[in-house]
Chains A and B, each alone.
Chain A
Amino acid sequence: MTALPQLLVSTVLLGGIYALIAVGLTLIFGIMRVVNFAHGEFLMLGMYLAFWSFTLWGLDPYFLLVVAVPLFFAIGLGIYALVMRGVIHASHNVQIFTTVGLSTALQNVALVFWTGDFRFVRPWESSIVVRILGAAFNLSQVIAFAVALLFTLALFAFMKWTHAGRVMRATAQDGEAATLMGIDTDRVYRLAFAMGIACVGVAGVLVSPLYSVYPTAGLQFVLLAYVVVVLGGLGDMVGALLGALIVAAVEVIGSYVFGSAWKEVIYFVLFIAVLVFRPAGLFGQRGAEALGA
């Protein structure tokens, strides 16, 4: 099977991109229990940041990461204060309508300011093709994968071994008990939301050399990110990485074997099966999905 090396490399690299997008979502989902339907739009804003910085000042997207992390962290803090704080204790329906509204508003802000035209970021590394053992891949994909791995491990370490991480996990497990123990849950939610938005903003910058930039670019990835989060388990960083690799494998190898038309059938059947038989996700702790709800 001469195509196997290519399929394996494509799976790993595509999985890296999906993981990068999903880690921010799983953080918000896992700790705040909010389904952020505007997640894809923050990805789109990250892509536009890369585009304008590259077009106006010639800045390479990878140098931009040092700016993107604090910038999107600040945007996350701002959106939390203006929008999310008011609905954090509301019903899931209200939260869904709010984030869907935010998603549509951000899409249309982009459309008004930057039009619906496709934009492109073409740094030097995006034209470099690496060929090893019959597989070919773009250098930008390798960088995106490496950063995704780094971010996932860093977030895992943060959640596991820092005081702030323990506080966030405690809040995720039981918000009321955390409040009784003196934890400022509002601060925890604010931090979780800002970190989640910073992650997806970085993801936007990193995928910009690979995909076109336009106001609804986020929609292309966000549905898959939900699948990844459910497969990996809510709030589980390593689970998100593994879930992303599974989705990518279904997409790449499933398309090759059964045809492209089947790939969505396969991973949504898997998605439903996980929700029905193992709601905590393939790698999450059993019962975790109900905690803090």
Chain B
Amino acid sequence: MRRRHAVLSTFIAVIALACASFALVGGTEGQPLQGEYKIGLLEPLTGPLAFEGKRHLDGYEVMRDLINGRGGVMGKKLVLVVGDAVDPTAAGSEANRLITREGVKIITGTYSSTLCGAASEAASRQNVIYWESSCVDPRFNKRGLRNVFRTEIDGTGFGWYNIEFIAKHLAPRFNLKPNQIKIAFLAEDSSYGQGVTEAARQRAKQEFGMQEVAVEYYAFASTNDFSPIIAKFKQLNPDVVHHIARSTDAMLFWRQSREQNFMFKALVHAGATGYGSSDFGKALGADGNGPFVLAEPGPGLRLDSFRPEARKLEQDFSEAIKKKTGDEPLASHRLAGSGLWLLKIVLDHAKTDDLEKFRTAVLSLDMPVGSMLNGWGVKFAENGQNANERVQHYMLQWQNGKMNTVWPEEFTTFRAKWIPLGPWDQRK
């Protein structure tokens, strides 16, 4: 009899423990959702930034559906209330509208470094949480705003990774030491281009002693000809062109470099725009072979390096994006998706959108690399920035119209090609 009691007690304890564990990993999956929880979403859906804004929106919508299939947020169905942040003024006014008329307590978005500042300040004035998933302006988290958080790496992290790649992966394959590398910096002149470039310049010079041969900034929206820059660079003969492009400037620079037979050993970019946009491959096809892009992972990513729950999420997200867009997920989709997923984790953990409790929950998260979509980890600093070293980034390369993941090599099945870049007509 006593033995039967012991077996029964053990059985009940095991069931109770299993239930508790299930609840801890966010296990409201499958349970009916109680009511709705609205989050404001700001993206540029019209105007010059709409091409990326709409891709981010796709990423958010796909992730919203996945979240609702996995228990929603705080047991409620997640609803996105969308505002069109066509420019910084509209970003601020739409943030106000979402807060005052829609009653949201959290706003996410806005992807662009030209928009996130205005949107987050508007949210801050009304003590509403601002959750940025994509803009990389280094100043974003340096304003002392307690309501502002960013899941993506900041611009200094982009610069750090790019120089890491050039010094440790490219230099040995050029048979050069890092301090023998001649590097030309070229960037569009927004806070994004300048932030990434200045961080890269600093590390290239101070840590590796690379030889900086040129620094050129330009206004991407009004530059219709790169001939003078190319003519200047040709005379300086750099090994590496570090080009932070924003839009069609990437295609124009590459096309004109080809026409003017400007030879360099590698071109390195960072971010989902410019060379990081799928439009670069559509415009140039195999003629666009060669540029490296620091971004979220693409084809070739090895999922066996991810934790099991992240692997499943990655597979489901990729499938859903393919179903919605007919193509592989782009960096824009991934940034939006991973940002929203992390917001769900925080809300489920905090169980409230009260700013101080939410903030405590954010700062308490400590997830190693490989825990999230994109293989990211999580560890926020006091200023609301997810640690650059946890936001694992990857170097992709344009190879015959596809942006394949090529570095770090332990995360991918593809390998970088054309190092150094050969003549323009021999990169097939």
Contact = CB atoms under 8 A, between A and B. Distances in A.
Interface of A: 2-3, 6-7, 10, 14, 17, 107-108, 111, 115-118, 120, 129, 136-138, 211-212, 214-216, 219-221, 223-224, 248, 251-256, 259-261, 264
B259 A129 contact: yes
A7 B228 contact: yes
B360 to A, nearest CB: 39
A117 B48 contact: no
Contact of B261 (A2, A136, A220, A259): A136
21 contacts: A2-B235, A3-B231, A10-B227, A111-B46, A115-B51, A116-B54, A117-B279, A118-B277, A118-B283, A138-B259, A214-B51, A219-B48, A219-B221, A220-B224, A223-B222, A252-B225, A252-B228, A255-B228, A261-B189, A261-B216, A264-B219
A221 B50 contact: no
Given A136-B259, A136-B260, A211-B252, A259 B216 contact: yes
Contact of B225 (A120, A212, A219, A251): A251
B219 to A, nearest CB: 6
Determine the interface band of chain B, counting residues with CB < 8 A from chain A.
35 or more
B213 interface: no
Given A7-B231, A252-B225, 4 more contacts: A118-B282, A220-B222, A251-B224, A261-B219
A117 B261 CA distance: 29
Interface string B249-272: 001100000111100000000000
A7 B227 CA distance: 7
A101 to B, nearest CB: 14
A265 to B, nearest CB: 11
B228 A116 contact: no
A256 B228 contact: yes
A264 B222 contact: yes
A212 B259 contact: no
Nearest to B235: A3
Interface string B195-228: 0000000000000000000001111011111011
Interface of B: 46-48, 50-54, 189, 216-219, 221-225, 227-229, 231-232, 234-235, 248, 251-252, 258-261, 277, 279, 282-283
A117 B277 CA distance: 10
B224 A211 contact: yes
A14 B225 contact: yes
A220 B282 CA distance: 21
Contacts of A211: 224, 248, 252
Contacts of B282: 118, 120
Given A219-B221, A255-B229, A212 B54 contact: no
Contacts of A111: 46, 50
B251 A212 contact: yes
A117 B51 contact: yes
B217 A260 contact: yes
A224 B224 CA distance: 10
Nearest to A5: B231
